[in-house]
Amino acid sequence: MLRKAEVLSLSRPSDLISGQAPKTGPSALAIRAQQILAALLLLTVAACSSQKPQPEQASAPTAQPQSAAALQRWEAIGKLGVRSPKENGSANLTWQQASGNYRIHLSGPLGAGATVISGSPGGVSLQRGSDPAVFASNPAQLTEQVMGWPLPVSEMFYWVRGLAAPGAVGGQQKNAKGQLQSLQQSGWQLNFGGYQTVGPYQLPTRIKAATNNAAGPVSVTVVIKEWSPR
């Protein structure tokens, strides 16, 4: 049988820490529970410190619409239709633009064979099929002289991008998005159809221009199916 001194010695907390088995009792169980809680707390802190916070991934920036005035170089492919006293038909259209220089290629039923209109700030030339090229300073006058109907290329450089050309403007209307819907300019009445997204630009898909000159009413419709900014 243990003496009283031995019982007191085994009940000391130092015996628990050293790993010696204490007697079971209310005080011993409480100390053991505290030790378990302390160990769990240390494990939790260690686990939290090992998990480094992940940096927030920045969302991809949304492309903002840009003014079509910035578009100066492109290739546009589509159709061109004409109704006039001397012509009624359509042609495939390829329009290549490099700032102030352009080349408009028309092919198909409209006219005879291929028609190429090439221009620069210095003037414009028009060649139909194998005929010799004809030169002038104004593309609308040149096309009317050769083909019998005017094509206002100088203004269309702006209109085809949904912009008013420099100069006097009348009857201008825009939709809620600020896109040009109708316009009166240089003797032409224009109506713009739907718009398409081309990179950062919003460009019209259909433009109808009508005028009434000495030869009679003329209507020119341009439909752009494919834009390739350069």
The CATH number of the domain where 127 resides is what?
Answer: 2.50.20.10
Asked if residue 35 is part of any domain, the answer here is: no
- Calculate the alpha carbon distances from 43 to 37, 53, 63, 106 in Å: 10, 18, 48, 79
Total structural domains in the chain?
Answer: 1
Q: Given this model, what pLDDT does residue 58 score?
A: 45
Parent domain of 167: 69-229
Beta bridge partners, 105, equal 94, 116
Asked if residue 179 is part of any domain, the answer here is: yes
Asked if residue 171 is part of any domain, the answer here is: yes
pLDDT tens, residue by residue, 96-149 = 999 899 999 999 887 657 999 999 999 999 999 889 999 999 999 999 999 999
Q: Given this model, what pLDDT does residue 213 score?
A: 85
Asked if residue 157 is part of any domain, the answer here is: yes
Q: 0.85 cut: is pTM over it?
A: no
Asked if residue 162 is part of any domain, the answer here is: yes
Asked if residue 63 is part of any domain, the answer here is: no
Residues of the chain with pLDDT under 70: 1-65, 111-112
Q: Given this model, what pLDDT does residue 47 score?
A: 52
Going along the chain, which residue ranges are E strands? 73-83, 88-98, 101-107, 115-120, 123-128, 134-136, 170-174, 180-185, 188-192, 195-198, 201-204, 206-213, 216-229
Asked if residue 74 is part of any domain, the answer here is: yes
